[in-house]
Amino acid sequence: MTMQAIHDAINADADGDTIASLPLPDTMRAAVIRKSEVDMFEGMTSRDKDPRQSLHIDDVPLPPLGANEVLIAPMASAINFNTVWTSIFEPLPTFGFLERFAREGELGARHDLDYHIVGSDAAGVVLRVGQGVTRWQPGDRVTVHCNYVDLEGPEGHEDSMLDPTQRIWGFETNFGALADVAMVKANQLMPMPTHLSWEEAASLGLVMATSYRMLVGQNEARMKQGDVVLIWGATGGLGGFATQFVLNGGGIPVCVVSSPEKVALLEELGVEHIIDRKAEGYSFWTDNGEPDYAEYRRFGGRIRELVGEDPDIVFEHPGRATFGASVFVAKKGGTIVTCASTSGFQHSYDNRYLWMNLKDILGSHFANYNEAWAANRLVAKGMIHPILSRTYPLEDVGEAAHQVHHNLHTGKIGILVGASEEGMGIRDHELRARHADDIDHWKHLQ
């Protein structure tokens, strides 16, 4: 039996019994990085490390299936920045995560291989369920969120992101989404929104749920109606959803981007306050590595000029390059919520502006099942939309990761895995027609 027969059955809308009865092949295509190559970029700058050289499509055995686990056939996936980090082996090779997982016991040891199958987003179909899985069955169409967690101990029962064994699937675990068959925990599955194609549904998970937790959920900044929210990278993966959540929740987004095309895209979405950081030429660091307060003030002044107030919330992820400015411009009593450090992990900010103005810095990371499910529900109801701009076949995963690495993309880049072309998998054509303009909006910016 080949994967083609399984994909044909899925495309023909075969029922669950048929899907369950189709034998699985012994091997499959998978996008991997190889342990033997972790030193391949030694001595090179981050910029020069090229995912096109380190990401391979190899033929590998199918993932194992244990209790409470599910094998799915991803029809599509998407590129996240974590696949960039994995493929350039920064800050450390992800094989270290797999080795640490192996030290926890037998189940973890299955992940410790000399290849790492990457990918943290998927939309696809359930092929097999392990012992103890009752909520899902073969044939179910699902999207996947990447919070991989057991909850065996007490620590994560109020918020699973606090569990000491919490991992990001396809980054800190093996058997990720960029393969013909992927292995997930049953508690990673969510129903696939019926008006979306495979690649659109697959592009939601990681960045959407992360933004939801940072801004909307009960755990972090908890945006209110009327809050002014400064959003860095407002047409990137995280920022594209942050912008929608702010608009949808009655906040006032102030969006920062780096080109006139991105400004135009946001204007068409109804965003009033937009800053083109490149055109403005902000430089928050002097040549000798000191913060440039004049530039902080110029940036804050521009925000006041646009919206008449300082931001209640700053949505942070660029990190070192912007963090000092983010702390400076936040309103007295405001919040800086951060989940990343793309430009550098060592941040510095002037603490006088934090304590004297009673500001808070909140650290946030992905999302729990409830938060991911709540965000997915907003999509299913047509209130939040995918931000997919471009899609590549699995064979071109290296090129897709290269684009994200060099900020050459807008929104999300999708990857077709089982789907042979774009646009497949839509079931509710009426709902689709109602939201087609919003969904296709992002595809205009190639």
Which residue lies nearer to ligand NDP by CB, 63 or 239? 239
Residues 6+ apart with CB under 8 A from 229: 215, 223, 242, 246, 251, 252, 253, 254, 311, 312, 313, 314, 315
- Number of chain positions touching ligand NDP (CB under 6 A): 30
Binding span for ligand NDP by CB under 6 A among 334-342, 353-361, 381-389, 436-444: 334-342
Q: 120, 194 in Cβ contact below 8 A?
A: no
Which residue lies nearer to ligand NDP by CB, 237 or 425? 237
In angstroms, what is the minimal distance from the CB of 93 to ligand NDP? 16
In angstroms, what is the minimal distance from the CB of 306 to ligand NDP? 16
Binding mask 197-216 for ligand NDP (x = CB under 6 A): ---------xx--x------
Binds ligand NDP (CB under 6 A): choice among 342, 368, 376, 389: 342
Q: 188, 226 in Cβ contact below 8 A?
A: no
In angstroms, what is the minimal distance from the CB of 123 to ligand NDP? 17
Residues within window 277-306 making contact with ligand NDP, judged by CB under 6 A: 277
Looking up tokens 């999708």, which residue turns up? 414
Closest CB to ligand NDP belongs to which residue?
236
**Applying CB under 6 A, does 403 fall inside the site for ligand NDP?**
no
In angstroms, what is the minimal distance from the CB of 194 to ligand NDP? 26
Residues 6+ apart with CB under 8 A from 421: none
Cα pseudo-dihedral 41, 83, 223, 386, rounded to 10? 140
Binds ligand NDP (CB under 6 A): choice among 34, 52, 365, 377: 365
Nearest-5° Cα angle at 301, 276 to 255: 35
Binds ligand NDP (CB under 6 A): choice among 98, 215, 303, 339: 339
Strand 69-78 to strand 412-416: parallel, antiparallel, or no bridges (unpaired)?
Answer: antiparallel
Looking up tokens 């797999």, which residue turns up? 98
* Cα dist from 86 to 48, 118, 278, 310, whole Å: 15, 8, 28, 37
Nearest-5° Cα angle at 255, 253 to 257: 170
**Applying CB under 6 A, does 147 fall inside the site for ligand NDP?**
no
Residues within window 234-263 making contact with ligand NDP, judged by CB under 6 A: 235-239, 256-258, 262
Q: Indicate the SS3 state at residue 243.
A: helix
Residue 177's Cβ-count burial label (10 Å; 0-12, 13-18, 19+) is: buried
In angstroms, what is the minimal distance from the CB of 85 to ligand NDP? 6
Which residue lies nearer to ligand NDP by CB, 261 or 395? 261
Binding site for ligand NDP (CB under 6 A): 80-82, 206-207, 210, 232-233, 235-239, 256-258, 262, 277, 317-318, 321-322, 339-340, 342-343, 365-366, 404, 407
